[in-house]
Amino acid sequence: MPILASPQFPKEQSESGEFVRQQDAFRRWVTSDPEGELPPTPHRYHLYVSWACPWAHRIIIVRHLKSLEKIIGMTVVDPIRDDKGWAFRDVPGASRDPINGFRYLSEAYLATSPGYDGRVTVPVLWDKETKQIVSNSDDDLMRILNSAFNEVTGNQLDLYPTEHRAEIDSLNETIYETVNDGVYRAGFATSQHAYETAVLALFKTLDELDDRLATRRFLSDRSPWKPIGVCSLHLFDLMRSTTGILNATSVASSITETFTVI
């Protein structure tokens, strides 16, 4: 399989040109269960996010919907990454790190796991007491924020109702594989075959979701969870309409440049 472009993240590129996303490195859990590992203590945790990252958008939205702004602090990194990754800078929409004084988010990763050599991603939930990352998994963080702090805030809004979880999880799997991550699989593909496979799957799912939403307000009939989980769709649509990069033609154009800051 000919390689037609240089990989954006070499450690996450297959020999045949597919982008294979790394696994989340930290997946501890905050829970109201008395026997749980981490308790939902107010002001103990802090979020590191980026406005330029769709995976972080959903966490920011859930934090707001669950009335957690005064319980869990949040710092926004510089949306422009350099060769050292996400940085804390005083630029419009971002700031320096008021919690640890980190210059780069990579310092949080190394404080949690010395020698960490994977890619540094957002969102990150930081534990100010243990001075370690709790989680960098956006899926886990949505579920943690949905229920762990209910007794603290009094907000009982349930974004992941038990009776709809089977449908939600099924939709999530398809949307993640072909849309949320599908955009990156296409954008970071380095072979024509990998690119076409990702793009065709992406547009197939978009057509299916369009048909589904033609007869209902939410992807899952009575749950507001999916409009949150699918916020990346709106970013993708904006990127698609403004750049014209993702289409069923050639990977040989400068695809990866469009996704560098995400």
Active-site residue list: 53, 184
d(CA 204, CA 183): 13
Partners of 75 in beta bridges: 48
Compute the residue count for the chain.
262
Distant-in-sequence, close-in-space partners of 196: CB < 8 Å, separation ≥ 6: 248, 251
Chain-centre distance for alpha carbon 232: 9
Give the separation between CA 99 and CA 96, rounded to whole angstroms. Answer: 9
> What's 39-95 look like in SS3?
CCCCCCEEEEECCCCHHHHHHHHHHHHCCCCCCCEEEECCCCCECCECECCCCCCCC
Count the Cβ atoms, other than its own, within 10 Å of residue 34: 6
Cα separation values, 45 from 10, 25, 48, 51, 73, Å: 33, 18, 10, 19, 7
